[in-house]
Structure 1
Amino acid sequence: MKRFLPGLLLAAPPLLVALLGPLFAGEPGDRAQSFAAPGDGHWLGTDFVGRDVWQQVLLGGRSVVLIALAATLLAYAVALPVGFAAALTARGWLEEVLMRPLDVLLGVPTLLFVLLVAAVHSPGPAGLAVLVAVVNVPDAARITRAAAASAAARPAVEALRMQGESRSRIALGYLGRSVLRTLAADAGIRLTGTLYLVATAAFLGVGVAPDAADWAVMVDRNRTGLFLQPWAVVVPALLIVALSMGTNLISDAALGRRRAARGGER
């Protein structure tokens, strides 16, 4: 538990604010002077259009967190079947068909791909989640294939095939258990990268409205008043950084625990 404590202490506050904040945000009040200092009922002052910063913070985390989680889950939903199929197939051409197009996509910078697609068709939150998932599929599929390949070559897999087990049962049952720890460690790192990509896209105005209650949008729209009212930028930025660092630390702790367990088995 001690291994996970630093990560939990960093990730828990932004997660709680993101998930529970809208329940306590209340109704929007009258707008005040823009970039007003804390006081007069505004604990963290006001933003660039006079809205209460504290209320915007309570409302602004759900979009970032939910889009990042949805994108990560969607990426694995596509990458796992592709990776398992490539690891289990005995046909070299089929593995080439499955993996080579992903290698091409892997060579395209992720943010550039998102911006190019957004320039053609401006996506909403769901569209942004799909875009971010697409750019994560190639790397996730390669990791799944690499982790499953050694397990797929074991005699146990051949025995399951001789017993008439389907490829889907072998993949979900035997291979799934074999790669679980690897994918769990990768998921923490991938969620961190996805969170940064979603926040960057929102910062650039992709997937969310320019005046939406969103932590990344808050950083972008209020940066012109950073020296007048820093809380409108500093608080959402710190929440994004804390969530990213906390998730990464939890992933590192899980990976370290896995290595320690392997050392103990030896």
Structure 2
Amino acid sequence: MGGRRVRARFVLGAALVTVPLLIALLGPWLAGPAGPRGVSFTPGQGHGLGTDFTGRDVGRQVLLGGRSVVLAALGATALTHAVAVPVGLAAALTRWGLLEDLLLRPLDVLIAVPSLVLVLICAAVLSPGPAGLSVLVALVAVPDAARTVHAAAVEVAARPAVEAMRMYGESWVRIALGHTARVLRRTLAADAGTRLVGALYLVSTAAFLGVGVQPDASDWAVMVDRNRPGLDLQPLAVVLPAVLIAALATGTNLLLDAALQRGRKGVRR
């Protein structure tokens, strides 16, 4: 029964993730040129799904709006771990308490600040677009991710294997990345999935608030915000992008859960 549940979770997660990823990847090539604007909330007159509240073709905006969300979320997740993993490992493996404090205490201060406040502050100095949005979200996520890595690595750092590697003069890179990070790979994978979902949330929230993106950008979150006033007239302009964002986040979690459960069974065997 457990194996069937894992397979079902994997299949459902793959199905949920595939649709928004394909739209994000192929959408800009399938969207075609922009036609003349006009208000037609019902399908027809050259608009397969009708137009949104601002007169833009809903289908075309859905095809164009996924790439920025996906790229920003993936970029933010990769950047978060690129910074948080070395910082967390360095704080856990160092024998100098002062260095650990220097690495972790500033992160504690940032964790105490609400994430949306940090987003608004950082947006004031970063340029709009997926790259700037990725940096912005990563800056918010790094403190908590580094703390998670540190907490998991402290226990590994106290094991005899690490002490033996130090006695034999192994380099820090070998101890940290070659051994400790490898031992923590399941923890890091689980954290990466959590960070990706969190990044999707923050990217969508920031875009919804008009932070880090142009007000007229072709973006799923911007579509939701821009079309709220006309929700009763054209619900597809709000529902479709919202469902795609939710499918991507939910599918990612399901795939990660299935992968971790399979890995756990492999370890038991």
- Shorter-normalised TM-score: what interval? over 0.9
User: Is it true that 1:29 corresponds to 2:35 in the alignment?
Assistant: yes
Structure 1 position 122, deviation (Å): 5.8
Structure 1 position 163, deviation (Å): 2.2
Q: Determine if contact 1:122/1:206 at 8 Å carries over to the other structure.
A: no
User: Is it true that 1:192 corresponds to 2:197 in the alignment?
Assistant: yes
Amino acid in the other structure paired with 1:131: L
User: Is it true that 1:102 corresponds to 2:107 in the alignment?
Assistant: yes
User: Is it true that 1:55 corresponds to 2:45 in the alignment?
Assistant: no
* Stretches of 4+ aligned residues off by more than 6 angstroms: none
| Rounded Cα–Cα distance in structure 1 between residues aligned with 2:250 and 2:104 | 31
Match of 2:162 in 1: 157
List gaps (5 residues or longer) in structure 2: 1-5
| Rounded Cα–Cα distance in structure 1 between residues aligned with 2:257 and 2:114 | 25
Residue by residue over 1:173-231, the C-alpha shift from the partner in whole angstroms, topping out at 9 and shown as x without a partner, is 01121111111011111100110110010000011111110000001111111111111
Residue by residue over 1:114-171, the C-alpha shift from the partner in whole angstroms, topping out at 9 and shown as x without a partner, is 12333x4463122221111011111111111122222222222222222222101211
| Rounded Cα–Cα distance in structure 2 between residues aligned with 1:29 and 1:80 | 47
| Rounded Cα–Cα distance in structure 2 between residues aligned with 1:222 and 1:84 | 45
Provide the aligned C-alpha RMSD in A.
Answer: 1.6
Match of 1:123 in 2: 127
User: May I ask how many residue pairs the two structures share in their alignment?
Assistant: 262
Match of 1:11 in 2: 17
| Rounded Cα–Cα distance in structure 1 between residues aligned with 2:126 and 2:176 | 37
Structure 1 position 48, deviation (Å): 2.3
Identity of aligned residues (%): 65
Residue by residue over 1:29-56, the C-alpha shift from the partner in whole angstroms, topping out at 9 and shown as x without a partner, is 12122x5211222111111222211111
Pair 1:55–1:112, CA change in 2 (3 A): same
Normalised TM-score (structure 1): 0.93
Match of 2:262 in 1: 257
Q: Determine if contact 2:126/2:136 at 8 Å carries over to the other structure.
A: no
Normalised TM-score (structure 2): 0.92
User: Is it true that 1:205 corresponds to 2:194 in the alignment?
Assistant: no
Residue by residue over 1:45-85, the C-alpha shift from the partner in whole angstroms, topping out at 9 and shown as x without a partner, is 11122221111111100001101111111111110111111
